A and B are shown apart, each in its own frame.
Chain A
Amino acid sequence: MENLVSHGENINALLARYGVKFGIYKNGVFHEQLFPYDAIPRVIPADEFAKLEKGLIQRVDALNLYLADIYSGQQIVKDGVVPADFAFSSSVYLPQCADVRPPRGVYSHISGIDLVQAESGEWFILEDNLRIPSGASYPMIARELSRIASPQSYRLNHVVDNRRYGQMLRETMDAVNCGGINVILTPGRFNAAYFEHSYLAEKTGAVLAQNGDLFVENQVLYYRDYHGAANRVGAVYRRISDEYLDPLTFLPESLIGVPNLMDAYRAGNVAILNAPGNGAADDKGIYYFVPKMIRYYLGEEPILQNAPTYLPFYEDDMKYVMAHLETLVVKDVAEAGGYGVIFGRDLSREKLEELRQTIRKEPRRFIAQEVIQFRDLDIMDGGARVPRKADLRAFVLSGGDKTAVWPSGLTRFSRNPDSFVVNSSQGGGFKDTWVLSR
């Protein structure tokens, strides 16, 4: 591995050469930035990954069952497992999706589950991302380039090949395809994840499309080619948020959506990956209920645990949060990307009191969690190994017959020694994630 680490700069140079970037808006201006790569991989031994794999599949299967339930019979609410206040009050529950069964009954085809490993070695789930989780492309290409820079690292270590993600994604699209081509729908070049959209199109063989290339006629989605021919689309891996997807169903002012796409979807003529409305299951408030969902739908005990979480919505939890705010991390359920995360220990007495008032006023808006002491991972910083906070985004793919975990993942780390925030938009970097075969 030391050989690989010595090639860190070379690998970063190769990533720059291939334009591996992410976009970010600063003061309203779009910038493309390189995503800093650290060559020391996160290493997950085979037995540890086997447990993670089982736990992740269990969790995603339960979340898919929850979505199917919440958009049809709502039995879990009727049985009092998830309160209606949480199931339906969130803005990401979309009534327009009620009673629409997606092809093969799959809602979350590509799930990005964020985990952290505590100092004890135990893994905790931090967040479920069931809408448009991004990031798989970075470890994919980093592995490709690492193997070029340091082949002996892979000869000497028993690392499971992670370069099949494109194939896995393609199989997932094919499994739910309703007849026609596979398309990746991107909002365009100035989206933060545009590199990933184009790279995944290349690796899956799907057509990369913008809304102007697509149209719906008689409840069927088509892609118009430059000869003027209409090519039927069977599956759309959309990288556009629900609210912009179809201006005739959601936000009428959307300029990046496809009019009547939801009609084609409702008619069962096209699969949309991930299904619209999935936010109803990855809302930070709903996260609290996922272990209960696993017990309710699968009759099993959760294999992977949530970080200890409190819902101020419940009186007992509110009391605890008010009493221990300075030791907790508070998250605004409407925010993402590392925004809206407040560590009580960082606040002055006045600011803590302000936060208490806000939580009392809007208890549904926040969750509070115990701060997990992450197991730090080493990164190279100016030639020295230094420990930094890191998380892992695992990618779980569901195509109908089976749910599978990609034997890799995106390990993000904070470059700031005092920070727990690992998001790329806030200056974080990434590592490859090695799953060992033995």
Chain B
Amino acid sequence: MGIISIEQSGRLYWLGRYTERVFTTLKCYRTYFDTMLDRAPDAYRDFLLRLTLPDVYADEGDFTVRYLYDANNPDSILSNLTRAYDNAIVLREALSTDMMGYIQMALDQMQAAVAGESPLYALQPVIDSLYAFWGAAGDYMDDESRDLMECGRRLERLDLYLRLDYNYRDIEREFSRFQFALGCLRVPHDTEAAGLLADYISQGNDHRLIDRRAIDCLERTLCLG
């Protein structure tokens, strides 16, 4: 790609964020789906609360379908995947047609899964396509474009892990990856917020939740597009 415009830098960053959002929320959805199956039908409310998403669902049955596939719900996984696609389609020359194909496939697979009765099974190919998409980045993208996308992806993952109270080791590992991605970027970022975030995370451990102010710091660290 060579030279990256301001708009493209934002799109790369948000492509990273949206693909990660789809990936991690889809995986979490699996966990909650399983819990709702026979133990706690309203567990989805906890999920929504953690992600500060509005509860617009009639019941768990409504949630299991509309949170996945409702194109008119801006928070649904399909809507987030569509946003990833909207960013990817204008980045074909940065991603390559081969790599772009994985996002197209993920979207097609998601849309094809609507009619299925077993979402966890039907959506596995979406997760596979996203894995393939990220794996292809190392081969097809130039370093600068990939770093921008990777930074968005790492930031989003850390944000979700913090919100969803992943265990401390996971958060620590993701924070380290985020710091590395941030260090690769040649764009200014908020070093004060990054420092505060490091403080918050270093205070956490398995027995004590990390202060939610870390999420605010994280969002302030880098803003592109």
Contacts and interface: CB of A to CB of B under 8 A. Distances in A.
Interface of A: 16-19, 141, 181, 188-189, 194-195, 198-199, 201-202, 205, 207-210, 212-213, 223-227, 231
Given A16-B104, A17-B104, A226 B9 contact: yes
21 contacts: A16-B108, A17-B101, A18-B100, A19-B92, A19-B100, A19-B101, A189-B86, A189-B89, A198-B92, A199-B92, A202-B92, A209-B5, A212-B5, A212-B7, A213-B5, A213-B6, A213-B7, A223-B3, A224-B5, A224-B6, A225-B3
Contacts, number: 69
Nearest to B108: A16
Contact of B89 (A19, A205, A224, A227): A19
Contact of B101 (A18, A208, A226): A18
Nearest to A227: B186
A339 B183 CA distance: 55
Given A16-B104, A16-B108, A202 B93 contact: yes
Given A17-B105, A202-B92, A226 B100 contact: no
A208 B93 contact: yes
A195 B186 CA distance: 30
A333 to B, nearest CB: 35
Contacts of B1: 207
Nearest to B104: A19
A189 B11 CA distance: 13
Contacts of B89: 19, 189, 194, 198
Given A205-B2, A209-B5, A225-B5, A198 B90 contact: yes
User: How many of chain B's residues touch chain A, expressed as a range?
Assistant: 20 to 34
Most buried by A among B5, B9, B89, B186: B5
B179 interface: no
Contacts of A18: 97-98, 100-101, 104
A336 to B, nearest CB: 26
B96 to A, nearest CB: 6
A226 B5 contact: yes
Contact of B4 (A17, A205, A225): A225
A141 B105 CA distance: 17
Contacts of A201: 92-93
A337 B8 CA distance: 32
Interface in B1-49: 1-9
B187 interface: yes
Nearest to A231: B3
B3 A202 contact: no
A146 to B, nearest CB: 15
Which 10 pairs between the two chains have the least Cβ-Cβ distance? A198-B92, A226-B9, A201-B93, A202-B93, A213-B5, A19-B104, A226-B6, A18-B101, A225-B3, A17-B101
A282 to B, nearest CB: 28
Given A226-B9, A227-B187, 19 more contacts: A17-B108, A18-B100, A19-B92, A19-B104, A141-B97, A181-B2, A188-B90, A195-B92, A198-B93, A201-B92, A202-B92, A202-B97, A205-B2, A207-B1, A207-B2, A213-B6, A225-B3, A225-B6, A226-B187
Contacts of B8: 226
B97 A189 contact: no
A6 to B, nearest CB: 23
Nearest to B91: A198
Interface in B174-223: 186-187
